[in-house]
Amino acid sequence: MANVMLRKKIDVQTPAVSGVKRYARKIWLAGLGAYARVGSEGGEYFKELVKSGQRIESKSKKVAVEQVGADNSHIHQVKSYVSSVKDLVEVQLANVESAFDSRVASALNRIGIASKHDVETLSAKLEELTALLERVARKH
């Protein structure tokens, strides 16, 4: 069975497409020019290009290392700041919680509801009285 390829016709008259085509053509011509120059001037030009590339690569690596160091320093500062903010938030949250507990206990006390401490104190006294009654009952 024969393979059939369908090609869609594209309108190549748009300014963006023609601009891309012109730029691609310039790149192609620059590559051909470089190839011709290397061929005519020989290996010396190629060696110059390699040296130039090595210099650029070295500078780029140096800049990249410096940037990474600066970024790491900045990240450390941000982490430290976040940690201190977290600590402040935890302290404030504890203060709010304490104030809330105090207000709720005060409100409950005003309407006559005993606090946990009051109930515990009363339970301890009740246990003492129960023990005292048991001793008195055993003597009689």
SS3 15: helix
* Residue 4 reports pLDDT greater than 80: no
What is d(CA 43, CA 16) in angstroms, rounded to the nearest whole number?
Answer: 39
Q: What angle do CA 54, 56, 61 make, to 5 degrees?
A: 95
Could you read off the pLDDT of 81-116 as tens digits, one per residue? 999 999 999 999 999 999 998 898 888 888 888 888
Could you read off the pLDDT of 6-15 as tens digits, one per residue? 555 555 566 7
Could you read off the pLDDT of 12-54 as tens digits, one per residue? 566 766 788 888 899 888 888 887 877 767 777 778 878 998 9
Identify the DSSP state of 12: T
- Residues whose CB is less than 8 angstroms from the CB of residue 21 and which lie 6 or more positions away in sequence, other chains included: 12
> Which of 30-34, 77-81, 116-120 has the highest average model confidence (pLDDT)?
77-81
* Residue 3 reports pLDDT greater than 80: no
What is d(CA 31, CA 24) in angstroms, rounded to the nearest whole number?
Answer: 11
